Amino acid sequence: MHMDAHEYLDFEDILIKPRRSPINSRQEVDLTRSFKTKSGFVLKGVGVVAANMDGVGTFSMAKALAQEKMFTALHKFYTLEQWVEFAKDNAAILPYVFITIGTSEAELENLGRILEAIPILTNICVDVANGYSAHFLPHVAKVREKFPNKVLMAGNVVGAEMSEALVQAGADIVKVGIGPGSVCTTRKMTGVGVPQFSAIVECAQAAHALGALVCGDGGCVCVGDIAKALAGGADFVMLGGMFAGHAESEAKIVDKEGKPYALFYGMSSYTAQEHHGGVRSYRASEGKEVYLPFRGAVAARLQEILGGLRSTCAYVGATNLEELPKRAIFIRVRRQINPIYDHLESPHGS
Ligand code: 5GP
């Protein structure tokens, strides 16, 4: 047994201190940036990514997010035919999408077929729950060897050592997060995880030192959390729960006492496993399912995110998101959001 007594922090343990700022209005802040990748591609946009989950990473979501230059990691259950059909009418959106695979040979072959059919697709996301499994690094290296000229995001990991290893295996973007997801039960089921803010800071320092980027994945429940992740060094922030339940989620809507609710579930929940080929007996569920009040079109959520991030930048005097980590001073706090009214419903919805 070894005890690492270093204090690891989550989003709710910290706040960003306001600073004297030359910015008079949040309109002066530009949230789009260029992401230079080691593979040579330059992605341009706002570093927000819809998660590759059923009910989040859908073609409809990608269309809505691309309007605001945000990215979508499509869930991995779209077929070649569906991809080809989507690409036909949405060429302008393709720079904003990632195509997701896991670690099976079949998925790698399928990826090859999709990229052959749609060569202008540039972004790949290799996604596994546990980036520490022995087969993961060799798989990432294999994907890189097969597709040397594509942007490669890979994860999930939570520390410097594995971030470096992933970059050396060919990843352009290290995906960070084990256990923080809104419908993830890993921490409860296994006792494993690292508080997400500290994980982002550690991985970002390691990846940036090697010229790579990071995507903080999971645990953001409000725009302030996205701002903290970006200020802590994340180049991208991946969101599941914040985009779930919107019209673009393509989720099953059910009526409960006259009100519409959308089903949202973790990708290793029993619901997801049943949906995609049955529960494997050796694998306990590490995800749960919830019904969210239907939230309508995602456009309002996107404006909330853009407005909040502009405001964060204005508070600390950053004219863009690349400057944000340089300007941000974090303070350690016990509790930062006024808890008195937290339980009350807003007239504007959540
Ligand atoms: P959220 O933004 O909802 O907090 O987190 C989204 C992330 O949760 C996803 O991108 C993915 O990394 C993670 N996730 C999704 N489903 C599951 C699951 O069933 N189990 C676990 N452990 N993580 C999940």
Distance 97 CA to ligand 1 centre (A): 18
Q: Which of 223, 246, 267 to mutate to test the pocket of ligand 1 (most atoms within 8 A of CB)?
A: 267
What is the tens place of the pLDDT at every residue in 54-75? 999 999 999 999 999 999 999 9
Q: Which residue has the tokens 């605001």?
A: 68
Q: Stretch 194-213: mean pLDDT, rounded?
A: 98
Which pLDDT score is estimated for 318?
A: 96
The packing angle between helices 223-231 and 299-316, to 10°, is 50
Question: Which position among 37, 58, 122, 186 bears the catalytic label?
Answer: 186
pLDDT bucket at 280, cuts 50 / 70 / 90: low
* The total number of residues written for the chain in this structure: 350
Strand partners, 48: 237
96, 122 Cβ separation under 8 angstroms:
no
pLDDT bucket at 26, cuts 50 / 70 / 90: confident
The ligand 1 site (C-beta within 6 Å) comprises 51, 53, 129, 156, 177, 180-184, 186, 217-220, 238-241, 266-269, 286-287
The answer for 245, left when phi > 0, alpha when psi is -120 to 50, beta otherwise, is left
Task: Enter the DSSP assignment of 13.
Answer: G
Which pLDDT score is estimated for 274?
A: 81
Nearest to 216 by CA among 230, 325, 207: 230
Q: Stretch 263-274: mean pLDDT, rounded?
A: 90
Q: Would you say residue 350 has pLDDT above 60?
A: no
Nearest to 214 by CA among 224, 203, 228: 203
Active site residue 215: no
3-state secondary structure 245-306: CCHHHCCCEEEECCEEEEEEECCCCHHHHHHCCCCCCCCCCCECEEEEECCCCCHHHHHHHH
Q: Stretch 322-350: mean pLDDT, rounded?
A: 76
User: What is the model's pTM?
Assistant: 0.96
How many C-beta neighbours within 10 Å does residue 319 have?
16
The number of CA neighbours under 13 Å toward the Cβ of 307 is 7
- Using CA positions, which residue lies closest to atom 16 of ligand 1? 266
- Using CA positions, which residue lies closest to atom 23 of ligand 1? 184
Active site residue 122: no
- Using CA positions, which residue lies closest to atom 22 of ligand 1? 184
Q: Would you say residue 278 has pLDDT above 80?
A: no
Question: Phi first, then psi: what are they for 16, rounded to 5°?
Answer: -100, 130
Among the listed ranges 21-35, 251-265, 323-337, which one has the minimum average pLDDT value? Answer: 323-337
pLDDT bucket at 285, cuts 50 / 70 / 90: confident
Distance 317 CA to ligand 1 centre (A): 32
Nearest to 328 by CA among 214, 234, 252, 249: 234
What is the tens place of the pLDDT at every residue in 59-118? 999 999 999 999 999 999 999 999 999 999 999 999 999 999 999 999 999 999 999 999
